[in-house]
Structure 1
Amino acid sequence: MSISNLIVHEIQKQQGERKAILIARPNENPIDDQAETLFAQVTSLFNRSGMNTGRFANPQGSVDGAQLPALLTKYFKEDAFTDFPSFTRECAANYLTYLEPVEEVAGGLLWFNHYELHGTHFLYIVMLKRKEGIGLSADLSLSQIEQIEVEKLHMSLRINLSAWQAGDEGRYISFRFGRAPKHESEYFTQFIGCDEPKVAAKETRKLVDLTSAFCQSEGLASKQANEFKKVVAEQCQAKAEEREPLAIKDIASQVASRFSVEQANKFLEIADSDSFKMEQEIFVEKAALKKLTRLSGSSRALTMSFDSDLLGESIVFDADTGTLTIKELPKSLLKQLQSMSN
């Protein structure tokens, strides 16, 4: 992973006011140890849960609406920015037009970062905030200082520039709102010019339900279904760790190799049906994968969760009576029950 371009501009705006001022840096920030450290911190925060994904409503840009895609078309040529400072200044000025009408929002630092990973080019646009801190001078006296807040991201966007430039129909935009209220997330989405943003957790839950629906439609035995769900879960986990999107056709390939081409086509048919309408690619939210390999439920008096591959083995379900029989209790639970019966 290598940083190609980096620049930070400041937007001065007080909460409760509409007037905003852009303090634009004339040239790029040096790519030094501090820049590398901040880049790593931003990346770590960005890749946490709660991702949204989408694509430009107008990939090449237009006179009306969001200017970000038009500015990319103007300045990003053959995997490089022709004039990164000019691109970011125009972009920041356009950002102000969406920020100023929202009185509840304050300014901050706009971080623009173009980097390359495995031959793919990406662009970060991140709103960072300052915070007050305590520093220690050379004579060991304490003083109040301003620091960049790196514990959380407020607004952040990452564009897969290579995918966008190639005309990819997938969701090449990823963005996060942090804990931003609705009025903030709305203006940021408008600035991006993003078409139908999707939440990664919601898309992952749809994939989980799709996998179960396929197993049910094909009448797979419990063991066979659980094995397939585990394979899907492992593939999803791998993509999540690589921070790459999962292609639905890759899951269909698993169906073809484990079952048949006809059943793979059936899987894709269900995925494209009105019940699911799955995207061709999705970003995976790890936490939403649990239902693929675990069964769980709770009431006010009882909570139960177990690996789905135990069903039919050490755990038996009787559909007629709606009861579960557990043959092998956890040792700690068994010990408690035995002590209570004595």
Structure 2
Amino acid sequence: MPVRNAIVHHIDKKPDGSPAVLHTRSSPLDVSQAVENLVSDLNESYNSRQNKGWGFFFPESGAYPFSGWLGKFLDGQATFVDFTTQAAEQLTKLMEESNLTVGGHVLFAHYQQGMTDYLSIAVLQQSEGVTVGADLEVSTAHHLDLSHLSLAARINLSEWRTNEKSKQYISYTKSKAGGKRGYDYFRDFLGCQEGIDGPSETRTLLKAFSDFMEKEDLPEPSAREKTGALLDYATAQSKIGQPISLEALSELIDEDRPRAFFEHIRNLDYGLSPEIPADKRTLNQFRRFTGRAEGLSISFESHLLGSKIEYDEGRDALIIRSVPQQLKDQIKRQKEKAN
């Protein structure tokens, strides 16, 4: 993951209500191993965050100048220092107006991953720890805390510059601290409007998969294998911060008919984009419960528990709503034979 440019500015904003003060750096950081490790660790921590939003830039304007500054930097009309200084000044202004958070060290990192260019921005806090030196003396040390990313964003620069129709080239954290207002000003700083609802898109994908599996009427081992293939792929994409490709997923689900699931989604018009962000929380809820005993075999997806399926612990019974049509037809035929 080559780092092309990186810089840290500092917004000194205390919770006592005193005005925020911006301290800027006059030159980019030397791309050392420490900087490479910092950007890599930031990327890993950011990918692990479950609560993220996805969107795209508003048209550049006085209210939303960030995309214009970024574009000038990418076009060689401004230096990385100039671009990040303007951006940090704007962030300081909005942070001061919000009166919701303390400041922090603002890291801007321009890097390449594979063939794709990215820009990551994160407001980082310092934590105090303890270290033991070469002389075996114990002393305190400060480090950037990457485990609590309340204000962070990542922009897929390649997608922004080459795909005008994309509505998901920006991702950003949705901070629980301060609720929605806690990250609104950060999204305003980026000039970002919500484009793709990750949890909703993931739920729609899983609904499409459930419908596909019901239509295919596969044996339980095969159904379990295909569910595992979906979850493994989607989880892996989430871990590296990449979207789910519907075509790639379709190929994994059925190697003999690699277009079958993709065509199912297109023919029934689920409204999914060709690539969607994977929401980890939604994926984690999509697991199968399976049990077999004395001629009875039951299997269902865990997210159905509490909606279509209810467990009555007192009677040790499962209540199934919306019984599959094929099962109902078999039961009716059996009853007719018995009569």
Q: TM-score, normalised to structure 1's length?
A: 0.74
* Inter-partner Cα distance in structure 1 for 2:100 and 2:16: 5
* Inter-partner Cα distance in structure 2 for 1:260 and 1:26: 53
Equivalent residue, structure 2, for 1:122: 118
* Inter-partner Cα distance in structure 2 for 1:112 and 1:262: 42
- Secondary structure at 2:123 match in 1: strand
Equivalent residue, structure 2, for 1:34: 34
Q: 1:74 aligns with which of 54, 72, 75?
A: 72
* Cα distance change, pair 158–311 in 1 and its aligned pair in 2 (3 A): farther
Structure 2 counterpart of 1:46, which letter?
Y
Q: Is the 8 A contact 1:51 1:200 kept in 2?
A: no
Quote the offset at 1:194 in angstroms: 2.0
* Inter-partner Cα distance in structure 1 for 2:229 and 2:171: 26
Quote the offset at 1:2 in angstroms: 0.8
- Secondary structure at 2:265 match in 1: helix
Once the two structures are superposed, residues 114-141 of structure 1 have per-residue CA deviations (whole angstroms, 9 ceiling, x without a partner) of: 1111121111111011234456678876
Unmatched tracts of structure 2, length 5 or more = 300-308, 310-316, 321-339
Structure 2 counterpart of 1:106, which letter?
V
* Cα distance change, pair 260–105 in 1 and its aligned pair in 2 (3 A): closer
* Cα distance change, pair 53–323 in 1 and its aligned pair in 2 (3 A): closer
Q: Is the 8 A contact 2:3 2:111 kept in 1?
A: yes
* Cα distance change, pair 63–149 in 1 and its aligned pair in 2 (3 A): same
Q: Is the 8 A contact 1:222 1:312 kept in 2?
A: no
* Inter-partner Cα distance in structure 2 for 1:10 and 1:103: 17
* Inter-partner Cα distance in structure 1 for 2:122 and 2:96: 17
Q: 2:297 aligns with which of 316, 320, 324?
A: 316
Equivalent residue, structure 2, for 1:95: 91
Q: 2:283 aligns with which of 286, 289, 295?
A: 289
* Inter-partner Cα distance in structure 2 for 1:156 and 1:29: 19
Q: Is the 8 A contact 1:56 1:69 kept in 2?
A: no
Quote the offset at 1:176 in angstroms: 2.0
* Cα distance change, pair 139–72 in 1 and its aligned pair in 2 (3 A): same
* Inter-partner Cα distance in structure 2 for 1:256 and 1:70: 44
Quote the offset at 1:156 in angstroms: 1.1
- Secondary structure at 2:48 match in 1: coil
Q: Is the 8 A contact 2:28 2:81 kept in 1?
A: yes
* Inter-partner Cα distance in structure 1 for 2:239 and 2:169: 17
Quote the offset at 1:87 in angstroms: 0.7
Equivalent residue, structure 2, for 1:131: 127
* Inter-partner Cα distance in structure 2 for 1:174 and 1:6: 19
Quote the offset at 1:159 in angstroms: 0.9
Quote the offset at 1:48 in angstroms: 0.6
- Secondary structure at 1:163 match in 2: helix
Q: Is the 8 A contact 2:47 2:239 kept in 1?
A: no
Unmatched tracts of structure 1, length 5 or more = 296-305, 325-342
Q: TM-score, normalised to structure 2's length?
A: 0.74
Residue 176 of structure 1 pairs with residue 173 of structure 2: yes
* Inter-partner Cα distance in structure 1 for 2:258 and 2:139: 69
Structure 2 counterpart of 1:281, which letter?
E
Q: Is the 8 A contact 2:4 2:111 kept in 1?
A: yes
* Cα distance change, pair 178–40 in 1 and its aligned pair in 2 (3 A): farther
Q: Give 1:1-342 correspondences, 5 Å limit.
A: 1-17=1-17, 19-58=19-58, 61-77=59-75, 82-134=78-130, 146-168=142-164, 169-177=166-174, 179-182=176-179, 183-196=181-194, 198=196, 200-216=198-214, 218=215, 220-223=217-220, 225-252=223-250, 258=256, 264-270=262-268, 272-273=269-270, 277-286=271-280, 288-290=282-284, 292-295=286-289, 306=290, 316-317=297-298
* Inter-partner Cα distance in structure 2 for 1:149 and 1:255: 39
Structure 2 counterpart of 1:215, which letter?
M
Give the number of aligned pairs.
301
Q: Is the 8 A contact 1:57 1:193 kept in 2?
A: yes
Quote the offset at 1:13 in angstroms: 1.2
Q: Is the 8 A contact 1:111 1:127 kept in 2?
A: yes
